[in-house]
Amino acid sequence: MNAEKKVWVVGHKNPDTDSICAALAYAELKNRKEDGRYVAKRAGAVSEETRYVLDYFDVKEPELVKDAGAQVKDIEIRETKGVCSHMSLKHAWEMMKDSGVVTLPIVNAKNKLEGLIVTGDIATSYMDVYDNRVLATARTQYRNIVETMDGELLTGNEHGYFVKGKVVVASGDDEVMKEYIEEDDLVILANRPESQRCALELNASCIVVCTGTEVSEEILAMAKERDCVVIRTPFDSFTAARLINQSMPIKYFMKKDNLVTFELEDYVDDVKEEMAKVRHRDFPVLDENGNYVGMISRRNLLNMKKKQVILVDHNEKTQAVDGIDGAEILEIIDHHRIGNLETVAPVFFRNQPLGCTGTIIYQMYQEQNEEITKKVAGLLLSAILSDTLMFRSPTCTPVDKAAAEELAKIAEVDIETHAKNMFRAGSNFKNKTIEEIFFQDFKKFTAADKDFGVGQISAMGAEELLGIKDQIVAYMDTVLTEKKLNMVFIMLTDILEETTYLLCAGTGADQVAEEAFKQEKDGDYYVLKGVVSRKKQIIPPFMSVLQ
C-alpha cells in the first residue's frame, strides 16, 4: 500500500545554520532530477540565527524528525478490509478462505476497530456445544439465517433479529410439537402443511421450511398475520439444523478486550518487542485518529523497507538523528573529519576540507549546470557566513569566500550587513531558556573511551556572552549527568574580537584544556584569543590530548 517513499535530507542534532540550509538546498538540487522524492528534515530545534535566515528568504523550516528508525508506516501493511460485527460466521469463514487470512478486523460505521475474529474462534463456535437458545442470545439477524441457509425470505423483515426463544427441529406430529414448541421459537420443519400451520398456531417467531418445498398462500397469509418470518431453504432438516449456528454474528465470538494494536508512527523495534509477548498471527494498525488502516504480522517485518536518508554536515553516529542504524544511508555530504558512522552498503560520500557544507553544495549546483535561485543562494550564503564566522574562522578557504561572493550577488544582499544581522539574531538570548541556549550548537564526540560534548555559543560581543556565563556554568553538571558524558566544554565565542572563552566541566576536563592550549584558567574560563572554530581549533587538540 506504500507509495514511493520520500528520502530524508537531514543534518545533525542541535542543527546550526549550515546543517539546516544545506539540507534545504541539497533537497532542492536532488528534486531537479527526481521531482518531490527528496525532502529536507531537521534533527533538532532551529536556532534564532537560522530562523532569521529562513524568515529573511521566506523559506519554511524543515519538519522535525527525532528518529530515523523504521516505523509501522514503512512496512507493507496488508489491506485486510474491516467487516461489520453483524456478519455471519459462515460469511466470515468464506472471506478468510478467499483472502488467505486467519484474522478479520471488525469495525464500526466510522471505521473504528471494535474487535477481531480469528479462524480459531470460528472453529470453536462449530465444535463447542451450545444450547438451543444461543441464536437468540447472539441476537442473530434473519438476513444471516437466509444467507447461511442459501435460502429465500418468503415473509417478514430480513433486517429483524431473532432475540427470543430457542431453535427447534419439528420431527413429530402436531401433538408432539405442542409439547416442546414455545412462543417465539424458531422452528425447522419439512414439507407438511399441517406442521407449518401448527408452528404458526404455537406463535413461532420464525419457521424454516426445508428441501425447497413450496409454501401455500394460506400458510404465508397466516404467517404475515402473526408477524412470523418464513424462510425456505434447499437443505434437508439435518443439514439446516447443522448449519444454522453458522448464521450467528461474529460480534458474539469476536475478541474485543485488551486488543494489541499498533499505530503508523510506532517504531518497529518497539513493535517487535510487543509481538514477542503474545502469540497472535496478525495485528491491527491504526492511524493517528484511531481509524483502522490494515493488518501486519511478524512476516511483514522481514520485508520492511528502511527509511532512506542523506546526511549533510556530519558523518558521526553520535551527531546523527536517533535510530540511524535502522535507516538506509544513501549519501553523505560533509566537511568534517571522518567519523565512526558505518553503512551496510557503499554510499556516495563527498567530504572536502572546506569551511562549510554549503560551499560543497554550491559546487554541486555548478557541476550539474543547475540554476541557483535567489532563495537557494541566500540559504547557501548564510550557511557559509555562519560556519566561517564571516570568513574569520581558520576553516575558511578562498573557495568558501569566492562562493559566498557569487552567492551574495544572486541573493542580492550585502555580505557584511547580512552576516551582522544573522549573528545579532543568534546572540539574542532574552527569550530563551538556558537549555535552548546551551544546545543550540552542541555536538558529542568520543576519544580514548571518553565521551565528551562541545557546544559553541556565538555573539557579536563579549558582554552578551559573559552575561549568560554563570547560568551556563551552573547547567553544565546537569548536562554531564543527563547526557552521560565524561566531560563538557562550552565555547563562548566573540565573533568581532575573534576570541573564545572556554568553559569546562567533568573529571579531567581542565587538564585536557590546559594541555591542549598550554595556558591556565582565568577565573571560570580559558581565554583563547584567535580561536573561533570548534572543528579546526578545538576538536583536533582535544583528540590529540585524549588519544
Distance CA 270, CA 266 (A): 7
pLDDT tens by residue, 381-406: 999 999 999 999 999 999 999 999 99
pLDDT at 190 over 90: no
- The confidence band for 70, taking pLDDT boundaries of 50, 70 and 90, is confident
Give the per-residue pLDDT at 174: 73
Quick one: cell of 176?
A: 408432539
What mean pLDDT comes out for the span 31-51? 91
pLDDT at 59 over 70: yes
In the chain the domains, ranked by start, together with CATH numbers, are 7-69+307-426 (3.90.1640.10), 89-252 (3.40.1390.20), 434-546 (3.10.310.20)
Give the per-residue pLDDT at 290: 92
Distance CA 400, CA 363 (A): 10
Residues 6+ apart with CB under 8 A from 401: 388, 391
Distance CA 244, CA 251 (A): 16
Q: Nearest to residue 309, comparing CAs of 328, 333, 334?
A: 328
pLDDT tens by residue, 104-150: 999 999 999 999 999 888 887 776 656 788 899 999 999 999 999 99
What mean pLDDT comes out for the span 250-255? 92
Distance CA 184, CA 200 (A): 10
pLDDT tens by residue, 74-95: 888 888 899 999 999 999 999 9
Give the per-residue pLDDT at 344: 85
How many Å from the N-terminal Cα to the C-terminal Cα in the chain? 51
pTM score:
0.69
Give the mean pLDDT of the chain.
Answer: 92
Give the per-residue pLDDT at 302: 76
Decide if 304 contacts 70 (C-beta within 8 A).
yes
What mean pLDDT comes out for the span 368-377? 97
Distance CA 173, CA 195 (A): 7
Most confidently modeled range among 418-422, 446-450, 520-524: 418-422
Give the per-residue pLDDT at 342: 86
Residue 430: DSSP 8-state: T
pLDDT at 371 over 50: yes
What is the Cβ-side half-sphere exposure of residue 172, based on CA atoms within 13 angstroms?
9
Q: Nearest to residue 133, comparing CAs of 185, 210, 171?
A: 185
Give the per-residue pLDDT at 4: 64
pLDDT at 1 over 60: no
What mean pLDDT comes out for the span 56-81? 92
Please report the beta strands in 326-473, taking only residues with DSSP state E, as ranges in sequence order: 328-334, 348-351, 442-447, 450-459
What mean pLDDT comes out for the span 406-430? 93
pLDDT tens by residue, 306-340: 899 999 999 999 899 999 988 999 999 999 989 88
- The confidence band for 44, taking pLDDT boundaries of 50, 70 and 90, is very high
pLDDT at 527 over 80: yes
pLDDT at 2 over 50: no
pLDDT at 151 over 50: yes
Instruction: Report which of residues 388 and 298 the model is more confident about.
Output: 388
Residues 6+ apart with CB under 8 A from 67: 267, 321, 322, 323
Sheet with 152-155, strands from edge to edge, namely 152-155, 229-232, 206-209, 186-189, 167-169
Residue 319: DSSP 8-state: G
Please report the beta strands in 121-194, taking only residues with DSSP state E, as ranges in sequence order: 140-141, 152-155, 161-162, 167-169, 186-189
What is the Cβ-side half-sphere exposure of residue 276, based on CA atoms within 13 angstroms?
6
